[in-house]
A and B are shown apart, each in its own frame.
Chain A
Amino acid sequence: MNLEVGPLLRTLRRQPGVLTLFVLEIAAGVATISSLLISGSWYLHVARRPSGLDEENLIMISTYSTGHRPAGHGGDLETAVLAEQASDRERTRATADVEAVTQLSTCVLDDRWSYPSLFSSLRADGTRLAEEVGWGIRADAGLGPALRVRFVAGAAPAGGAASTDVILTRTFAEGLFGSAAHAIGGAVVSGADEKLKVVGVIEDVRMRMPFMPNGANVVFLLGPAPLDHEARLIVRARPGRRDALVAALRAAFAPDATRRFVHVRTFDSTDSIHYRVGSGLFQLLGMFGAMLGIVVLLGALAATSFLVAQRTRQIGIRRALGATRADIIGYFLLESALATTVGSMVGVAGAVVLYRMMRRVFMDLALDFRLIGLSLALLWVASILATLVPALRAARVSPSVASRSL
């Protein structure tokens, strides 16, 4: 095969408009498909971020206690809510195959909206050491055995926690105190009031929707929880007994289901609203990317077909002068490759610019060059395909075509 670049460049120079449009088309394709892939994979990655909990034998029971008292039964509504929740805990603990139970104020499967708070670590003299945004979760003494959190420093308080005792995740402790070891015994405040004492630091867990910022900054507040109609009991089943325990708990709470909300489910952070939203957005953006790829292919195919057809006489002359079919195919492929290369280079630069814009709205967004590479590959394939089909047709042009209009 004899590939001559000189005639090729001269042809391109003769049609600068066509060439420029092709280059810009490829550039726009690379930049936008890369951005769609980067943002889509961000949604998927964030939604799939593990909770850090050993979920295999975990169950969650969500309840809503109205505190309703049947007619003729007096008493305080608040006390009735708390009594019902205490009864729920006892009923759960009494069920066979339950290994441990803890009540949390919120968790990663919660569909309620909430906001993080600002926490400050204090020096010995009471001045502020550092500030971090974090998620405060109320928990009881069953936290350790039920969630199987792994302590990296300190431990769960033995014999009952004081109302000001807290446990931090490693990331949060490092942000507030520099290291997990330094955090133990340290003081933390949220707002302007009571000091909280750090009694333990655990490996990171995520307790809120992962699209929220500072997801690994979690502080478990071990004191008594404020009144809440909604309660979440996290239950650890004996190994291999989770499904049986789910059925048993559903049966145990069945009498309540006619008058209040009780939902027993396996604790699976991939079966949650944030997971569905993340996966859905990934699919939607992926759909956009695929449609865009098809559009580029379609446009390139149609345009190239006509532009190749327009050069039928030129091809005939080249064939009459001895060019083989392979030469003709190679000629068009090389022409397309040159334009695609230039367009790809401009497109990558565009993708980087768009990435910098994306970073303002997507937290912790990483520039994944593999995704840019993927979009480059897609457009290269589209470009080659779009050229190959008309080029094959052009290669079949007979040398006699060159003389027909002479």
Chain B
Amino acid sequence: MALQLFTYHARLAVKSLRRDPGLSVTIVTVMAVVAGMFFTALVHYLRFYGPLPKLAPGLHHVEVSQPAGQVLGAFAGTTAEPNAIAGRLRVSYPIYRRLSGSHIPAREAGTFRSRLLVRRGGPASPDGAAAGSQVGSSATAPPGRPRNARFVNADFFSLFMLKLRDGAPWTHEQEAHGDAVVVLSKRLGAELFPHGDGLGASVLINEVPFRVVGICADDQPMVPEWDRASTGGPQDLLYLPFAWHIPLLALPEMPIHVSPVGTAYADLLASDEIFVSYWLDLPTPQARRAYEQYLAATLGPLGVTYHLRDFAGLRAAFPAPRTAVSFFLFLTLVILAGGGLIMARLLLAKGIARGDELGIFRALGAPRRALFVRQMLEAALLSGLGGALSVLIAAPQAIFYNVVVADTDIPLHLTPTSFLITLAATLTVGVLFALYPAWWAASRPPTISLGRH
């Protein structure tokens, strides 16, 4: 019965839409535009502040108080806050060597980002080894600009659950053996091997041949949990075995300077410069206790303080900093509410324009509640339609952002989640702002509506 009544009112509401097409189209247009703006801001917001990704359940991190800990504290709460985050999430190379020397974690990964020259090499040899470098050979394309390359251990991919489209990460054995293997990002894979024939092919990295063993399935998330200080920047384009940083003389892209170092690479590795992130998997309480004891025995005598945290604890200790993205989401919410105000005024106008019709309904015995429900349904239909059409506004804005603004090479995509949230928000705003016009129209006595006749 209730459903029949609802269907009846819904049908009348749809008919009402057609009664004042000019006003209906204006309402839908207004709501689509303001919802489109909200949609765009929401997509940006969720890229930065979305739900926590699914990572290895036993993932842990060790924060080690650096010699310059107080110095880095000066950045906290300022726009240089990434310095403070980087300074606490990363450690110096000597400290990293101590942290990774326990052999307690089930899995572990050290990582830092560098910049390397990458180009396509020759075809892979039959035994799977990368083809040798031929400098200046016509078989290879000239190198482009330096690329962001991340040095990681084999466990990195499973700890951070990075999906590969092709192939698999290198193995511990390959890493121990010093094999020249590489995993390419989705973007670099598509760029170097547009025909999808990258797996097993050779790439020259700083003129050293490496064999492609995997290609990532997706672009890097905007917030790379393994190195949150690089949030918002260009993505990692290739992943190399950690130990290869020495033969390649790979320099960290963004070290935190805490003391002068000499000019040689060895000076950097012996210095207090902060640049390595270290992650470990402690899946059981026993493993965690054992590692705590290891830290106490290793770092305790050095007089440094440290914090061993699981991932949830880490995110609680390092909440995402405030950015313009949050502000713009708030601003578009205000804009959406402004759209709701415009819609309310237009619904009032609709109510006034249809005074005769509403008066006749009332005179024929329609209760106020029925008219109210019908007005609300009409408002929901109009705002819902506006919310659905918001994609027509947000899509060109996303394209504009990716092409013109392009502050990062991680493309902005409209996601189904963002669309559904936008639709829900638009509907909510539409229904809330329709309350007054619906009440006003439903509560007008028929004598007033019909009185002028």
User: Would you give the shortest CB distance from B288 to chain A, in whole angstroms?
Assistant: 32
Contact across chains for A295 and B345 when beta carbons are under 8 A apart:
no
User: Would you give the shortest CB distance from A355 to chain B, in whole angstroms?
Assistant: 11
Bound together, the chains give a CA A381 to CA B267 distance in angstroms of 66
Contact across chains for A192 and B207 when beta carbons are under 8 A apart:
no
Known: A192-B258, A307-B349. A227 touches B253 (CB 8 A): no
Contact across chains for B261 and A226 when beta carbons are under 8 A apart:
yes
CB proximity to A under 8 Å, residues B313-350: 322-324, 326-328, 330-331, 334-335, 337-339, 341-346, 348-350
Task: Give the residue among A115, A261, A294, A360 with the most B Cβ atoms within 10 A.
Answer: A115
Known: A229-B251, A306-B23. A18 touches B145 (CB 8 A): no
CB proximity to A under 8 Å, residues B255-271: 255-265, 267-268
Task: Give the residue among B71, B258, B406 with the most A Cβ atoms within 10 A.
Answer: B71
Contact across chains for B327 and A229 when beta carbons are under 8 A apart:
no
Contact across chains for B346 and A303 when beta carbons are under 8 A apart:
yes
- Verify if B54 is at the interface (C-beta below 8 Å from A): no
- Verify if A10 is at the interface (C-beta below 8 Å from B): no
Assuming A193-B260, A276-B405, what are 8 further A-B pairs, CB within 8 angstroms?
A32-B338, A67-B249, A116-B83, A133-B80, A227-B265, A280-B407, A306-B350, A358-B327
User: Would you give the shortest CB distance from A405 to chain B, in whole angstroms?
Assistant: 6
Contact across chains for A405 and B453 when beta carbons are under 8 A apart:
yes
Q: Which residues of A contact B338 (CB under 8 A)?
A: 25, 28-29, 32, 292, 296
Known: A67-B249, A295-B339. A261 touches B146 (CB 8 A): yes
- Verify if B220 is at the interface (C-beta below 8 Å from A): no
A interface residues, Cβ below 8 angstroms from B: 17-18, 21-22, 24-25, 28-29, 31-32, 35-36, 39, 64, 66-68, 70, 77-78, 81, 111-118, 131, 133, 136, 190-194, 212-214, 224-230, 257-261, 263, 273, 276-277, 280-281, 283-284, 287-288, 291-292, 294-296, 298-300, 302-303, 305-307, 309-310, 313, 354, 357-358, 360-363, 405
Bound together, the chains give a CA A303 to CA B34 distance in angstroms of 17
- Verify if B413 is at the interface (C-beta below 8 Å from A): no
Bound together, the chains give a CA A39 to CA B349 distance in angstroms of 35
User: Would you give the shortest CB distance from A49 to chain B, in whole angstroms?
Assistant: 15
Known: A191-B257, A213-B78, A306-B23. A260 touches B342 (CB 8 A): no
Segment from B375-383, B396-404, B416-424 that makes contact with A: B396-404
Task: Give the residue among B144, B145, B345, B404 with the most A Cβ atoms within 10 A.
Answer: B345
Contact across chains for A21 and B344 when beta carbons are under 8 A apart:
yes
Q: Which residues of B contact A363 (CB under 8 A)?
A: 79
Contact across chains for A229 and B264 when beta carbons are under 8 A apart:
no
Contact across chains for B405 and A225 when beta carbons are under 8 A apart:
no
User: Would you give the shortest CB distance from A343 to chain B, in whole angstroms?
Assistant: 10
Contact across chains for B341 and A24 when beta carbons are under 8 A apart:
yes
Q: Which residue of A lies closest to B22 (CB)?
A: A302
Known: A192-B258, A193-B260. A64 touches B349 (CB 8 A): no
Bound together, the chains give a CA A252 to CA B335 distance in angstroms of 56
Q: Which residues of A contact B327 (CB under 8 A)?
A: 39, 357-358, 360-361
Q: Which residues of A contact B353 (CB under 8 A)?
A: 306, 309-310
- Verify if B282 is at the interface (C-beta below 8 Å from A): no
Contact across chains for A191 and B68 when beta carbons are under 8 A apart:
yes
Task: Give the residue among A18, A288, A300 with the most B Cβ atoms within 10 A.
Answer: A288
A-B contact pairs, 27 of them (CB 8 A): A39-B324, A39-B327, A64-B117, A64-B145, A66-B207, A68-B135, A70-B135, A77-B247, A78-B249, A115-B254, A118-B71, A190-B258, A193-B260, A226-B268, A277-B407, A284-B397, A287-B400, A295-B33, A295-B34, A300-B342, A303-B342, A303-B345, A307-B349, A354-B334, A361-B324, A361-B327, A362-B324
Bound together, the chains give a CA A396 to CA B43 distance in angstroms of 49
Contact across chains for B136 and A259 when beta carbons are under 8 A apart:
yes
- Verify if B281 is at the interface (C-beta below 8 Å from A): no
Task: Give the residue among B37, B67, B230 with the most A Cβ atoms within 10 A.
Answer: B37
User: Would you give the shortest CB distance from B209 to chain A, in whole angstroms?
Assistant: 11
- Verify if B29 is at the interface (C-beta below 8 Å from A): yes
Bound together, the chains give a CA A358 to CA B339 distance in angstroms of 22
Bound together, the chains give a CA A136 to CA B261 distance in angstroms of 13
CB proximity to A under 8 Å, residues B84-129: 86, 115-117
Q: Which residues of A contact B135 (CB under 8 A)?
A: 68, 70, 258-259
Bound together, the chains give a CA A191 to CA B272 distance in angstroms of 10
The 5 nearest A-B residue pairs measured at CB: A299-B342, A28-B338, A280-B405, A306-B349, A68-B207
Contact across chains for A299 and B345 when beta carbons are under 8 A apart:
yes
**Among candidates A136, A226, A361, residue contacting B263 with C-beta atoms closer than 8 Å:** A226
- Verify if B233 is at the interface (C-beta below 8 Å from A): yes
Q: Which residue of B lies closest to A138 (CB)?
A: B263
- Verify if B55 is at the interface (C-beta below 8 Å from A): no
Contact across chains for B331 and A36 when beta carbons are under 8 A apart:
yes
Contact across chains for A213 and B324 when beta carbons are under 8 A apart:
no
- Verify if B182 is at the interface (C-beta below 8 Å from A): no
B interface residues, Cβ below 8 angstroms from A: 22-23, 26, 29-30, 33-34, 37, 67-68, 71-72, 74-75, 78-80, 82-83, 86, 115-117, 133, 135-136, 142-146, 206-208, 230, 233-234, 247, 249, 251, 253-265, 267-268, 272, 322-324, 326-328, 330-331, 334-335, 337-339, 341-346, 348-350, 352-353, 393, 397, 400-401, 404-407, 436-437, 440, 452-453
Bound together, the chains give a CA A206 to CA B345 distance in angstroms of 51
Bound together, the chains give a CA A198 to CA B451 distance in angstroms of 89
Bound together, the chains give a CA A168 to CA B401 distance in angstroms of 37
> How many residue pairs between the two chains, A and B, have CB atoms under 8 Å in the bound complex?
248
Bound together, the chains give a CA A190 to CA B259 distance in angstroms of 6
Known: A261-B144, A303-B346. A277 touches B67 (CB 8 A): no
Task: Give the residue among B145, B260, B401, B406 with the most A Cβ atoms within 10 A.
Answer: B260
Q: Which residue of A lies closest to B73 (CB)?
A: A118
Contact across chains for A283 and B404 when beta carbons are under 8 A apart:
yes
Q: Which residue of A lies closest to B78 (CB)?
A: A213
**Among candidates B254, B346, B440, residue contacting A114 with C-beta atoms closer than 8 Å:** B254
Contact across chains for B254 and A276 when beta carbons are under 8 A apart:
no
Q: Which residues of A contact B146 (CB under 8 A)?
A: 64, 229-230, 261
Q: Which residue of B lies closest to A43 (CB)?
A: B324
Q: Which residues of B contact A32 (CB under 8 A)?
A: 331, 334-335, 338
Contact across chains for B263 and A224 when beta carbons are under 8 A apart:
yes
Contact across chains for B259 and A21 when beta carbons are under 8 A apart:
no
Contact across chains for B80 and A115 when beta carbons are under 8 A apart:
yes
Contact across chains for B117 and A295 when beta carbons are under 8 A apart:
no
Contact across chains for B30 and A299 when beta carbons are under 8 A apart:
yes
Q: Which residues of A contact B82 (CB under 8 A)?
A: 115
Q: Which residues of B contact A78 (CB under 8 A)?
A: 249, 264-265
Bound together, the chains give a CA A309 to CA B262 distance in angstroms of 82
User: Would you give the shortest CB distance from B441 to chain A, in whole angstroms?
Assistant: 11
Q: Which residues of A contact B342 (CB under 8 A)?
A: 25, 295-296, 299-300, 303
Bound together, the chains give a CA A117 to CA B272 distance in angstroms of 14
**Among candidates A21, A136, A214, A288, residue contacting B341 with C-beta atoms closer than 8 Å:** A21
User: Would you give the shortest CB distance from A38 to chain B, in whole angstroms?
Assistant: 11
Q: Which residues of B contact A362 (CB under 8 A)?
A: 324
Contact across chains for A81 and B207 when beta carbons are under 8 A apart:
no
Known: A68-B207, A192-B68, A276-B406. A313 touches B331 (CB 8 A): no
Contact across chains for A284 and B400 when beta carbons are under 8 A apart:
yes
Bound together, the chains give a CA A389 to CA B364 distance in angstroms of 37
Q: Which residues of B contact A191 (CB under 8 A)?
A: 67-68, 71, 257-260, 272
User: Would you give the shortest CB distance from A88 to chain B, in whole angstroms?
Assistant: 15
User: Would you give the shortest CB distance from B407 to chain A, in whole angstroms?
Assistant: 4
User: Would you give the shortest CB distance from A324 to chain B, in whole angstroms?
Assistant: 25
Q: Which residues of B contact A68 (CB under 8 A)?
A: 133, 135, 206-208
